[in-house]
Amino acid sequence: MASRAWRWAPEMDEVADTLRAADLPTDMAESTARVLAFWEQDEDRYDVPVAHTLSQLRSGRIT
């Protein structure tokens, strides 16, 4: 999941921009973009253990 999911972070930023322009809440789109961005460092790495993927989220920072 992480090896490909990061690719949608920019699109989620665009969704947030569209919602903002429509004066709608952007929280979910912005949060999703942030979560997906955590995994950019694992681009196309299919051997990353799920525990590592989850620990990145728990840490609250991109390593």
pLDDT digits (tens, 9 = 90+) for 8-33: 899 999 999 999 999 999 999 999 99
Q: What is the pTM (predicted TM-score) of this model?
A: 0.71
- pLDDT for 62 equals 54
The pair of three-digit structure tokens given for residue 46, joined into one six-digit string: 């299919």
Whose tokens are 């912005």? That residue is 30
Which band of pLDDT confidence, cut at 50, 70 and 90, is reported for residue 39?
confident
Can you give the pLDDT at residue 24? 98
Residue 47: both structure tokens together: 């051997």
Q: What is the mean pLDDT of the chain?
A: 85
Distant-in-sequence, close-in-space partners of 57: CB < 8 Å, separation ≥ 6: 35, 38
Euclidean distance between CA atoms 39 and 52, whole angstroms: 10
Query: Is the pLDDT confidence value at 63 over 60?
Result: no
